[in-house]
Chain A
Amino acid sequence: MNPEIALPILIPLMSGAVSLVFWRSRPMQRLVAVGGTVALLLTSVWLLASVSREGILVMHMGGWPAPFGISLVADLLGAIMVVLTGIIGFAVALYSLATAGRGHEAYGYFPLMHLLLAGVAGAFLTGDIFNLYVWFEVMLVASFALLILGSEKPQMEGAIKYVTLNLLSSVIFLIAVGLLYGMVGTLNMADIARRLVMVEEQDMVDALAMMFMVAFGIKAAAFPLFFWLPASYHTPPVAVSALFAGLLTKVGVYALFRVFTLIFHHSPGYTHEILLWGAGLTMLSGVLGAAAQFEFRRILSFHIVSQIGYMILGLALFTPLAIVGGVFYIIHHIIVKTNLFLVSGIVHRLRGSYQLKRLGGFYRSHPWLALLFLIPALSLAGIPPLSGFFAKFIVIRASIEAEAYGVTTIALLVGLLTLYSMIKIWAEVFWKSVPPEGDVDPYPEVRQRELWLMVAPVVGLALCTLFIGLYPAPIHALAEASAAQLLDPQSYIRAVLGAQVEGGP
């Protein structure tokens, strides 16, 4: 019995329930927010430790054996993602103590945050495709409510697009699950993978694979389905933006990785070729969108899109090295992107604006903040020796080895344009002098204690980036081991279904 498989889902659910009980008590809710996310982080590290020691761990909920009940499956990729969820959850919870206003907290900011984390962790750990749909919905409902906390006009406009497209993708996902069930008669992902080989109409399987690709592609914000992301991510309170930027699209990417390595890996010439095109166009359109923007968070939002392209590229090439690169990229990206959003929040807190042209002079007034921005920004662009360099290096090397030169060119070009965007922010916000009076909003009051709470998670995440960059060996080994697991679906199937695989269905 391994309780650590279920705990990363149960802890946020429990913390959410407890903070609902203390609906009127602000201090208690804050305490539970920090305590719950610390507990989540600790158990997720425990989970990762036991998965890397013992291999794929499986828990059958309610004691029902594998294809009948719902199984929770923790393989290395799932465990890594849960650890990242813990890190981001903790960082954002700390940061929220300073930024979540009284109004947001009164409408359930912290319970919703816990619920979102539970949904994300559940999606990473479930081994049942319908259960994955349910966790997606848990996550979505929490994110809907977080997105509109405060009810400002841009939030409403962004939320309508976000809600519509995400509901559409959920419906497509649901239909695909239903059709898949009609075809193979099971919902357990390992069992599906085993039976799908025996289905006669492989064309139908390809059609289903496309439905899953579209459904997860919308969630992951891949080309051409990403328009909801830059329209909505810059509207909510900044801690929410950071949480979404770090985790939500990556759940879509994770689902793509899971489904296209475990279930639909039989005709890579068709599905993975389309993924490859999608990856290239995602990178390019995201980065070009960012080049046209002059708002801090909106530039970062477009860069989420372009970075998603690199991860999907890793999956699409489908060589061992490329999958290693994809996993490494996810690890690097979640930390760095959340950090950039948190920095943008500090800038906004100090100067009251996200517009680049109203900002300036930070290098003179807050040199430490300039340094804290530079670490994740250069890492995002892939400057050695930061984490992004190794992530990009592995993916690009894999694409050269796979002789996909077109996509390699795009990936290199996008790296350059990412650097351009980051330099644009650097030059406008940090380097140029403060704009003349009248162009600047009045500076808000910031208490020292709040500032510390906001800076602490940024420093922590920046240290993670530096650590991955300066000492990438352990993370690389982890990515390599998880890629090996992903490319060997038989081990996953054996772990879930146990001995009955030998007998056939």
Chain B
Amino acid sequence: MIAALATLLAFQLAGEALRAALHLPVPGPVIGMALLLVWLVIRRGPGEPLRHTSGTLLQNLSLMFVPAGTGVMLHMGRLADEAWPIAIALVASTVLGIVAAGLTLHRLTRHQEDAQ
């Protein structure tokens, strides 16, 4: 588990370094994810420890958003002042985004899915 964690951190570190060196607009962990994907293609898949540790972390992905989410308490004032525009814009645009992405992909791949 420690070796797997070290692997993940090393790829995150490489991602951060690349972001800083090339002034990329994408965060280090996302670049690290892309680098690890390339590495997994070269190595033809993860070893058992990495598969296991990744699975455990991803099963608890929700937990990682709790500390930042609790930051909602810092913005109670603005959220109350602009409650309706914020709520409606947030809900409507998220619904539109879900529908646009889901429906587009569904329509474009329907024949492919049917064939399977």
A associates with B = no
* B interface list, Cβ under 8 A from A: none
* A interface list, Cβ under 8 A from B: none
